[in-house]
Amino acid sequence: MEQATYQYSSKPSANPFRWLLAAWRVSRDLTNTNEAAIVEIGFSRSRLGRRFAGWRQTCESLLNCPETAAAIKRRHRLGPIDLQELGRLPSGTLGRVLAEVCMERDIDPNLVSIPSSGDVDFVMAHVFETHDIWHVATGWGNDEVGEVGLGGFYLAQLGLPLIAIMLVLVLLNTITRRPATLGERMDALTAGYQMGKEARPLFGLEWDALWAKPLEDLRSELSLDSGATLGEGIPIAA
């Protein structure tokens, strides 16, 4: 399927109140991917949103690392992910597990598409379009604990202020509404951050060349200890 003709699921909203509502809903339920897509697009389509989210600082940091700088220079884009095609790959491969997880949880990996005409644009686009893949690669599940853990992983690998802002909102919401879960979420945040520090950089990997690779081998090569994850997790064979 050609990217030019693909109709992505989420559309940008020019209404700031709709964006704020989406941000609040995500802080209450991290698994709400449709609202998260609205938040992500909002941060990507305005200068104020980009500055507030810290995308330029993150891009500059990635450009200081030869490995991630080379990825920014290549600007390789995934294009739409075909879950039906990935579902025909051998069991236990990256693509097959991604397809199984997405179809089981009714996740659309093609919610957000951002044009990548510059370095900052590419960093945003790549982070957004690979989010569900990072879940599978790291082993952090799509439950709320898994989202917090992956947020910690993002902080360690990207230092993205946007993630820190969202995690603060989540933890504040946890304290006020579900204080009994605070300990588990803090443990997930800490474990995810430590995993991100120990792992090889995931940013810039050309994941579409790795669909058929056994997930167990991939995690080993990237120094990803999925045994450290909390919550539901994502096993080798989903």
pLDDT at 1: 32
Predicted TM-score (pTM) of the model is 0.85
Judge whether 236 lies within some domain.
no
Judge whether 8 lies within some domain.
no
Q: What is the 3-state secondary structure (H, E, C) of the chain?
A: CCHHHCCCCCCCCCCHHHHHHHHHHHHHCCCCHHHHHHHHHHHHCCHHHHHHHCHHHHHHHHHCCHHHHHHHHHCCCCCCCCHHHHCCCCCCEHHHHHHHHHHHHCCCCCCCCCCCCCHHHHHHHHHHHCHHHHHHHHCCCCCHHHHHHHHHHHHHHHCCHHHHHHHHHHHHHHHHHCHHHHHHHHHHHHHHHHHHHHCCCCCCCCHHHCCCCEHHHHHHHCCCCHHHCCCCCCCCCC
Judge whether 231 lies within some domain.
no
Give me the average pLDDT of each 10-residue run along the chain (238 residues): 38 60 73 71 68 86 96 94 97 97 92 83 91 96 93 95 84 87 94 97 97 97 92 83
Judge whether 233 lies within some domain.
no
pLDDT at 45: 65
What domain range is 28 assigned to? 15-222
Judge whether 83 lies within some domain.
yes
Judge whether 120 lies within some domain.
yes
pLDDT at 180: 93
Q: Count the domains in the chain.
A: 1
pLDDT at 28: 73
Q: What are phi and psi of 93, to 5 degrees?
A: -85, 160
Judge whether 227 lies within some domain.
no
Judge whether 155 lies within some domain.
yes
